[in-house]
């Protein structure tokens, strides 16, 4: 574990839906997490390359252009310390299995409740 406290841990939120990005930002920021928002894969990669690395990345599966499962594979390859939580409004058991196979920490279906987000991000951050 990198930090004794969750306060100040970094979370990268990658979702093409602005309302979801902003809601997750509000929920996590209120709890003391530092958040970075990205609307898609290219913004996420730029944020990861710029650093500092987040402890957790919340990554939408379905995005225009490059999808989240493809980006997950790159994150696992280039930035292995980052715990990736996949989210989708179109998920099923097969998608969850594929996300886990590619190295996702967890797969959550939308809509995501506040408590579920906080618990998942906390557990993902502590596993780092």
Residue 72: CATH number of its domain: 3.40.50.2300
The answer to whether the CB of 125 falls within 8 A of the CB of 83 is yes
Residue 97 lies in a domain: no
Note whether residue 119 is domain-resident: yes
Residue 17 lies in a domain: yes
Give yes or no for a contact between 126 and 103, defined as CB atoms under 8 angstroms apart: no
Query: pLDDT tens per residue, the chain (128 residues)?
Result: 333 356 679 999 999 999 999 999 999 999 999 999 999 999 999 999 998 999 999 999 988 888 899 999 999 999 999 999 999 887 667 777 888 888 899 988 888 889 999 999 999 988 75
Q: What does pTM read for this prediction?
A: 0.90
Instruction: Kindly state whether residue 120 falls inside one of the protein's structural domains.
Output: yes
CB 110 within 8 A of CB 20: yes
Expressed as residue numbers, the domain containing 108 is 10-91+103-127
Decide if 50 contacts 43 (C-beta within 8 A): no
Collect all residues with Cβ–Cβ distance below 8 Å to 106 and sequence separation of at least 6.
Answer: 85, 86, 120, 123, 124
């Amino acid at each position: 574990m990198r930090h004794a406290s969750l306060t100040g841990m970094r979370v990268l939120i990658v979702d093409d839906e602005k309302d979801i990005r902003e809601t997750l930002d509000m929920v996590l920021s209120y709890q003391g997490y530092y958040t970075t928002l990205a609307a898609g894969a290219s913004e996420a990669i730029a944020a990861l390359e710029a650093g500092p690395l987040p402890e957790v990345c919340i990554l939408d599966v379905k995005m225009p252009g490059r999808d989240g499962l493809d980006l997950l594979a790159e994150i696992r390859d280039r930035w292995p310390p980052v715990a990736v939580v996949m989210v989708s409004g179109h998920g099923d058991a097969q998608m969850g299995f594929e996300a886990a196979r590619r190295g996702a920490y967890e797969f959550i279906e939308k809509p995501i409740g506040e408590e579920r987000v906080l618990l998942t991000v906390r557990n993902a951050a502590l596993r780092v």
